[in-house]
Amino acid sequence: MSERFPPSVRQYALITGNYWAFTLTDGALRMLVVLHFHQLGYGPLQIALLFLFYEIFGVITNLVGGWIGARIGLNRTMNIGLGLQIAALAMLAVPVAWLTIPWVMAAQALSGVAKDLNKMSAKSSVKSLVPDSAQGTLYRWVAALTGSKNALKGAGFFLGGLLLGGIGFRAAVLAMAAGLMLVWLASLMMLRRDLGRARSKPKFQAMFSKGRAINVLSAARLFLFGARDVWFVVALPVFLATSLDWEHRSVGAFMATWVIGYGIVQAAAPRLTGRHDQPPGRVQAFAWAGLLALVPLGIAAVFGQWPAQTLLIAGLGLFGALFAINSSLHSYLIVSYAAEDGVSLDVGFYYMANAMGRLIGTVLSGWVYQVAGLAACLWISAVFIAAAALISLALPPHAREAASAP
- Show the DSSP H helices in 233-342 as ranges: 235-242, 248-268, 270-273, 282-302, 308-337
pLDDT at 252 over 80: no
**pLDDT of the residue at 300:** 95
pLDDT tens, residue by residue, 99-153: 888 888 889 888 888 888 887 777 677 666 666 666 767 777 777 777 777 788 8
pLDDT tens, residue by residue, 254-307: 888 888 888 888 888 877 776 555 667 888 999 999 999 999 999 999 998 999
Reference 125, options 138, 111, 112, 110; nearest CA is 138
**pLDDT of the residue at 275:** 56
136 CB-contact burial (10 Å; exposed 0-12 / middle 13-18 / buried 19+): middle
- 28: Cβ–Cβ under 8 A, 6 or more apart, which residues? 156, 157, 159, 160, 163, 172, 176
- DSSP letters of 29-44? HHHHHHHHHHHTT--H
pLDDT at 400 over 70: no
Average pLDDT for 85-97: 90
**pLDDT of the residue at 406:** 40
Percent of the chain with pLDDT over 70: 82
The answer to whether the beta carbons of residues 349 and 214 sit under 8 Å apart is yes
Q: Please give the mean pLDDT across all residues of the chain.
A: 81
Give the dihedral sign, CA 166/169/173/174: negative
**pLDDT of the residue at 128:** 64
Residue 157 — pLDDT band, cuts 50, 70, 90? confident
User: At 398, is the secondary structure helix, strand, or coil?
Assistant: coil
**pLDDT of the residue at 264:** 87
- Rounded distance, CA 227 to CA 383, Å? 8
pLDDT at 178 over 70: yes
End-to-end CA distance of the chain: 42
- Rounded distance, CA 57 to CA 81, Å? 13
- Structural domains in the chain, CATH included, are 7-195+206-403 (1.20.1250.20)
